[in-house]
Structure 1
């Protein structure tokens, strides 16, 4: 036999082994699905003897058959995120951990980039995308990401379970993971979650099902990190280190119901998400991943999750080794988690200790079975067992497609927020501003734009790349990096801007300043960035644009007031196409319509309260000013919902409805609320919404939006409600709806809001009831100078 023939035979044998011909535990990457008769036969198994492959049975029945056929050791192994499968019964190994926060990521090792798939579309980070306040955009991004994920799965380099999105509410502006989130309002965060999850999961035409546990999934999403998680690593004035592995988020039940749990409830109930991830932190001393009330009681019981609950990675080890909860041994730790309702352990603690815990009598094998059934049913809905033919044709051409890159560019455009525009300095003109200078640490931004959990992008378009489409561009960095510790770089930047027709100063933050595992100590721009801005602005002869990259707000009070700065633009972290989007906005190809999803506080905010204070409401005796636009009682640089346009818009409410009446059954009671001394106190303060008929929308509000400017534009109309005056602890106002509308110059468009009074006008009482107050509420349309408001009466009848 020739050496070449021998090599060919060896190569074929190697391929057969990789394809699983001899070992049914290998990944499915060379097969379409688990219940492939040929695959099972190659492993010595007969599909006719495997009831879990019987398609005439329900997913639950099949999952139970499979679970019942496993040994105790196999069950423990399969409850870990990176498992070896169960070759004896034909189950291949599977890595549950993939991420898709704003594009398919390589975090978790469930998805890989290389020769087969060099990269995937990296959309703007969620904080930037949320600034669009465009629900259809959020869903479209989810659909694009799941298409690329399915294509990568077909090519053998991705799983089907993606632990995204992050839907924690931004309670404090210092939090390092702000870039991953949809902002500070729980309703907006919840609506983002619902739309992005639906985009990831929904199979067209099968968005609902009589039995949700049978509804097919495109990919499986995961809403995280449950719950009250928003401290990563923070130092209290340099003296005390607080981190997520040891922090106990001692939030009131009022704040839990009103803020920290609400987005997760919306994600489960309205988004029908297939997974929820519990967080590292404790709540009142109990680790969330070992809290049966939060997991088995709330997620599984109250909200009826159709899917599985997974730990944040190494959470059980953290409970045992770092938090030393109840001085648990590893066997106690896995028992606590399983008994609380945790179905899947990210990492290895279940795999290492759960079998012994069961043999010691610390857990019931039945609870292991129930967890496995929850996991297997999700994999069945994904087609992991039977295939999903509708997606079989997806391949490399569906990754980094022009359609997806265009969507990424449009998402970045829609998310950019215009914060200042004195004298209509923007947009720039290709006639007047042919030679421009861009200076600053982010002038040539690439990887900065995609933030974290980003994988490998298709290609970058930096700010310089984007601006070169419109003008001749010169540049100097001005700072060696984002920390900007060496002022000697400033003078070359100043020299460059002196003769430019316009100057763009690109500054801000990056993952070295705000990131997972890293909270900020202050709100200032790092190092000498302020000096660079001042000197470059003073030397410039043309308009000066301050371009900011960040997730959290930064203290730009000086530059908002400065006559040397003509415009301020916040780009967030705009994704791989960010440079093109920025240039399109600066030169007027796109009229900015983004609104801030977080409050930008003045710099002294951080000195008024520690990051570890969980209370959202002001505490006057401690001098705490409160948190988020709903409760903060101090001054701001830019409020939540703020954003300018090159057009000007006015609002008018054209709907006649100004009241709603609800009926309270004779045997039910009014709820008691607390009022301050100056308030009018109605005879019936309000009613619990659980005591009212709340199943239908009963409020219609029509808002006409007129563009009084000279250019077409898109305006986001944000609707707020303000509770009756005098209710102690009630929010200042709260978002109840939002819509974006395109309005041509000189034209008027009407936006209609159909609302449910129980959901939109209710408050959470101090004792954590959700109640609808009687009396005069106020509806507020918009923010800033063009906002209008009108009274809206709520009455209760018996």
Structure 2
């Protein structure tokens, strides 16, 4: 009895002690955040402090601190979450809108959905999981200097000014306007001088000139850090001038912390600290890497190993515990500003309901941005808009019904995705005959015409496939869940789980079924998956991609006899990111282009939906097909098979409209010369198909403008690894582009008149500019008014540089005065030492619908004016 009394007494005392933390200043929401943070940090042990400096920070139960994973993404809508969300156009597509207000609202809506997800996960006890937190590692404001970079789709293009303005709008929209709390925390990445190649990014050492550093690579970061108040910065994988970015004197210490006085948090890119000693070879081991990264104010490691070495670094005197405290203060300040330590009643964002997910307003905005992003590249002979009175239309191509293509990378999963075929079908209704054929893959002309074999599959007398799911990647132990599924054809976006109670990462599965042949034949199959898989037939290993998977289906053949059974086993594992596994059967057929054209001889118009796809370009991807390498491109030319098919389609004599999807510039000189109509639709998000159909049939007047230069051929490109800006992007390229930066046609016409600007100004004086814009055409529409500045005769100056833009909506016949004010900074240049100065003499200002001297077709003329600077 005495033992029981003692035990009960200890339990009660322990419970009381366990609740003492509620009285600590760290939990008093009436106190200043700085005081609360200091109280928290100084209650932590050394080991607890270090544990909070990795992205998956564990709980500290004796203080009531919950576990928190800093890693989350919202590039164009909340990404990788287990819940359905709104998916907006890819970042490069949103840049093509040149619409800061729309981007601000998109970010605000994304933060709203992010809050709803976090609140729901908290209610379900899942708030410590990845991809449900409120710290988003977005936006990507690296400069898209080379169109071969597969991650360029995540950026706002090649221009520092456009990138800065769009990035700032995103940050302000995401972080909200509450005077106390952040709605969500944005993070500017990847700091700095980072834009491929993907395969060598972990070991590249880049040596930018001081001019290029301050003229091109840093302005957008400066805008977000100094003016937009971004909460976080992510340092890049590569090295700059011999030092890894996360341990770089110039970038991290001198510029970010001292010059820009950044007080937010810095995270490493994921596993970038491993690169210090594994690839850069600048540090001898993890302890040296961890200490140096911390000294350079990298506050948190995205990763699982290096920062645990900080314990040893403190104990051996490489760093002091006070240095840890500085980083921890920055980290916990963010969590406090997010309201994660305050009552729900105090934080209005914490009251966001799940009903906001995929709201009608968000869906409508996804459509608006998709529509605004579409760039009309060519429209000769008035082919577009097409008549809705047509009777027969063909929609052909690898992106015609490709949901992966329209969603881009770093994406969430919406409940519904509208592809090109679906958008056109909905637009025209059931009375119009729509012919759809994929016809080709992106890079080849041989398809597997799929057959439905589900009736041939069974497991122990039950139709279908036994699926056994394991909560580890090695198929070890007892399956967590065993189900019967109809086939092996699955896709899970990052953050989704294939079975109840299974975690969203690091799982595996074994699929077992018996195929009973319906006839004696040779059956053709394809197996594909990611992250890794292997396939067995009758217990013999047929395909092994467990550790060396490459994107692209693996074909195999299976000779079968009627009524005989064949055991099929597929083993699969998932590590990080999206996941899929599929086994499909069919007949492998090389497309006969002439026969296809013959089948289309009676249609009224042909829509070819081609280009490329995030299945081919993206972050460090194991792609091994012609024209692509590791997520990057080895050529910017349209894949040859698409050019060949387009030629065949033209032989029908019917109008052929090329709907191009891409995250980067594609060179299409032959298509530009021969096709009557071309639109660039990027990766347009969940409503891409609706937006494309609206443009094709005149319900939306295209108004997108290119945020990157579309070069004519690979010959226009410098070495991919050369980070010099000489002859790169519209600001320094001396050749003739196929479609210039800022370019885009309309169904209407705009004119510019009554330009008003001073003839001369003194240095340091702002310059006011106004112009009258008139819609002189027959359609209502949007114009993007662009203002460029150039300094003729000044060495190392850009040919011209964007310094202002406004998106203006006008009804046909309507006019509006448009005004700009150029600041001293807008009128300045960067010298060879990286210093900004304003040159005297002639400064040329151009204002219009694009760059001066690069108008094409109906593109608006540009007004020029020379200002003498004294």
TM class by shorter-chain length? 0.7 to 0.9
Q: Which residue of 1 aligns with 2:386?
A: 428
2:830 pairs with 752, 760, 764, which one?
A: 764
Q: Note the 1:335-734 alignment, pairs <5 A.
A: 335-386=291-342, 387=344, 389-431=347-389, 433-471=390-428, 472=432, 473-484=434-445, 488=591, 490-491=593-594, 493-517=596-620, 518-541=631-654, 543-562=655-674, 565-605=675-715, 609-617=718-726, 626-662=727-763, 698-723=766-791, 725-734=792-801
Per the alignment, in what secondary structure is the counterpart of residue 583 of structure 1?
helix
CA-to-aligned-CA distance 1:246-289 (integer Å, 9 cap, x gap):
11121111101011111111111121100000000011221000
How many pairs were matched up? 683
Contact 1:272/1:306 (<8 A) preserved: no
Contact 1:168/1:227 (<8 A) preserved: yes
Distance 1:43 1:396, change over 3 A: farther
| TM superposition outliers: structure 1 runs of 4+ over 6 Å | 40-43
Q: Which residue of 2 aligns with 1:159?
A: 133
Contact 1:280/1:287 (<8 A) preserved: yes
Residues of 2 paired with 1:751 and 1:435: CA distance? 44
Residues of 2 paired with 1:707 and 1:531: CA distance? 39
Per the alignment, in what secondary structure is the counterpart of residue 756 of structure 2?
coil
Residues of 2 paired with 1:270 and 1:278: CA distance? 19
2:60 pairs with 86, 97, 103, which one?
A: 86
Contact 1:86/1:93 (<8 A) preserved: yes
The gaps in structure 1 that reach 5 residues or longer are 1-22, 24-39, 107-111, 207-214, 234-241, 618-625, 663-691
CA-to-aligned-CA distance 1:507-542 (integer Å, 9 cap, x gap):
10012332112111001122411111110122142x
Contact 2:274/2:306 (<8 A) preserved: no
Report the CA distance between 1:124 and its aligned residue. Answer: 0.3
More strand by share: 2
More helix by share: 1
1:190 pairs with 164, 168, 180, which one?
A: 164
Report the CA distance between 1:136 and its aligned residue. Answer: 0.2
Per the alignment, in what secondary structure is the counterpart of residue 438 of structure 1?
strand
Report the CA distance between 1:361 and its aligned residue. Answer: 0.6
Distance 1:651 1:496, change over 3 A: farther
Distance 1:48 1:438, change over 3 A: closer
Residues of 2 paired with 1:321 and 1:656: CA distance? 57
TM-score by length of 2: 0.76
Q: Note the 1:107-186 alignment, pairs <5 A.
A: 112-113=81-82, 117=83, 119-156=84-121, 158-186=132-160
Residues of 2 paired with 1:609 and 1:350: CA distance? 36
Residues of 2 paired with 1:92 and 1:343: CA distance? 19
The gaps in structure 2 that reach 5 residues or longer are 1-10, 127-131, 448-589, 621-630
Q: Which residue of 2 aligns with 1:244?
A: 201
1:737 pairs with 801, 804, 822, which one?
A: 804
Contact 1:484/1:527 (<8 A) preserved: no
Q: Which residue of 2 aligns with 1:317?
A: 274
Residues of 2 paired with 1:296 and 1:504: CA distance? 53
TM-score by length of 1: 0.83
CA RMSD of aligned residues (A): 1.9
Report the CA distance between 1:186 and its aligned residue. Answer: 0.5
Q: Which residue of 2 aligns with 1:66?
A: 40
Q: Note the 1:30-49 alignment, pairs <5 A.
A: 44-47=18-21, 49=23
CA-to-aligned-CA distance 1:644-673 (integer Å, 9 cap, x gap):
0000111124324333213xxxxxxxxxxx
Residues of 1 paired with 2:384 and 2:600: CA distance? 18
Contact 1:127/1:180 (<8 A) preserved: yes
CA-to-aligned-CA distance 1:366-423 (integer Å, 9 cap, x gap):
1100000000011111101114531243222100111101100110000000000001
Contact 1:43/1:90 (<8 A) preserved: no
Q: Which residue of 2 aligns with 1:283?
A: 240
Report the CA distance between 1:584 and its aligned residue. Answer: 0.4
Contact 1:710/1:745 (<8 A) preserved: yes
Contact 2:18/2:62 (<8 A) preserved: no
Per the alignment, in what secondary structure is the counterpart of residue 744 of structure 2?
coil
Contact 1:484/1:526 (<8 A) preserved: no
CA-to-aligned-CA distance 1:713-759 (integer Å, 9 cap, x gap):
11000110011x21111100000010011111122111111231x12
Per the alignment, in what secondary structure is the counterpart of residue 730 of structure 2?
helix
Distance 1:41 1:202, change over 3 A: farther
Report the CA distance between 1:324 and its aligned residue. Answer: 1.4
Contact 1:482/1:508 (<8 A) preserved: no
Per the alignment, in what secondary structure is the counterpart of residue 332 of structure 2?
helix
Report the CA distance between 1:789 and its aligned residue. Answer: 3.5
Report the CA distance between 1:628 and its aligned residue. Answer: 0.3
Contact 1:593/1:716 (<8 A) preserved: yes
Report the CA distance between 1:351 and its aligned residue. Answer: 4.1
Per the alignment, in what secondary structure is the counterpart of residue 474 of structure 1?
strand
